Amino acid sequence: MRKRHVLDLMNRHMSIKHQLSHRRFSHTSTLLHINSSPLYGRSVSRQLTGAFVTQWKSSHPDGTVVDRDLNATSISPIAAEWVGAAYTPEEARNPQQKELLALSDTLLAELEQADEYVFGVPMHNFGVPTVLKLWIDQIARVGRTFSYADGTPKGLLTGKKATFIIATGGIYDAQTQMASFNFVEPYLRSVFGFLGVTDATFLTTGGTAALNYGQDRDAFLAPHLQVVQSHAQTN
Ligand SMILES: Cc1cc2nc3c(=O)[nH]c(=O)nc-3n(C[C@H](O)[C@H](O)[C@H](O)COP(=O)(O)O)c2cc1C
C-alpha cells in the first residue's frame, strides 16, 4: 500500500516535471515589450521593464522579444476619417482608408503575434501617458480586438498574458487617502479586460518622487526589481 503511494507520488512528480520542461523548451513564445515613459535613462518603469525582459529571455532562451517604444512612435489622435475607415468593412475600404489604418494594422499585428505583453507605464496627471492613450486608440478596433456581434461586447484578444509595470511619484495604495486619484490601474484593467486580456498582473512602484529628494536609486529600486524579476521568471 505504502509502496504504491510512493510510486504514485513519483509518477505525479515526473509528470509535472515533464510538463514544465515541455512548456519551457518546446513552445517558442513572443513577448511584446511596450514602453511609454519619456524619461528614458531616468525612467523607473523603463528600468523595470528592462529587468523583466532580461529575466524573461533567460527563462525563454528560444523566445522572441518585440520592442515598441511609444515615445519613438508617431501616432496621431483619432480623426473622423480614421473612424470612418475603421467602421467600413475591410473589403469595402478604398486605398486612402487602408492607408489611414496602416499604423493601426501594424500595431495590431504586434499584439496578435505576441503571447505575452509587458508594459512600462508612468503615471502622468493621475492617468496613463498621452502616448499610451494614443496607442490604445489605435488598437481598440471593432472586429479586430472587440466586437458587438450579438449585442454584447466581446474581447477578441484572448489567450494573452499581460504585465503592467507602473511607476508613480506619489503613493496610491488601497485604503490611502490618494487611492481614488489613481486612474492608471483601473483604466488599464478595464480597457484590456474589454479587449479580452483578462490575465493581467499589475506591479506598481509607488513613491518614486523620493528619488528627486536624495533617496538612493539602487536601494529604492532593489525590492521592486526583485518582484519584477521573480514575476518574469515564473511567467
Ligand atoms: C508629466 C508628469 C506628470 C506626472 N503626474 C503625476 C501624478 O499625477 N501623480 C504622481 O504621483 N506622479 C506624477 N508624476 C511623477 C511620475 O509618476 C513618476 O516620476 C514616475 O516615476 C514616472 O515613471 P517613469 O520614471 O518611468 O517616467 C508625473 C510625472 C510627469 C513627468
Instruction: Tell me how far the alpha carbon of residue 208 lies from the centroid of ligand 1, in angstroms.
Output: 8
Residue 8: per-residue pLDDT: 53
Angle (CA) 68-78-158 rounded to 5° is: 55
Evaluate: CB of 155 within 6 angstroms of ligand 1: no
Kindly list the distances between the CA atom of residue 70 and the CA atoms of 37, 67, 107, 132, 139, in Å, as whole numbers in the listed order. 8, 9, 11, 7, 13
| Per-residue pLDDT tens digits for 187-226 | 999 999 999 999 999 999 999 999 999 999 999 999 999 9
CB count within 10 Å of CB 188 equals: 22
| Per-residue pLDDT tens digits for 6-59 | 445 545 544 444 444 444 444 689 999 999 999 999 999 999 999 999 999 999
Q: How many helices (H) and strands (E) does the chain have?
A: 8, 7
> Whole-number mean pLDDT of the chain?
91
| Per-residue pLDDT tens digits for 95-106 | 999 999 999 999
Residue 189: per-residue pLDDT: 98
Instruction: Tell me how far the alpha carbon of residue 122 lies from the centroid of ligand 1, in angstroms.
Output: 6
Residue 14: per-residue pLDDT: 46
Please identify, by atom number, the ligand 1 atom nearest to the C-alpha of residue 123: 17
Instruction: Tell me how far the alpha carbon of residue 47 lies from the centroid of ligand 1, in angstroms.
Output: 15
Contact 169, 209 (CB under 8 A): yes
State which of 45, 125, 220 you would mutate to test the pocket of ligand 1, scoring each by most atoms of that ligand within 8 A of its C-beta: 125
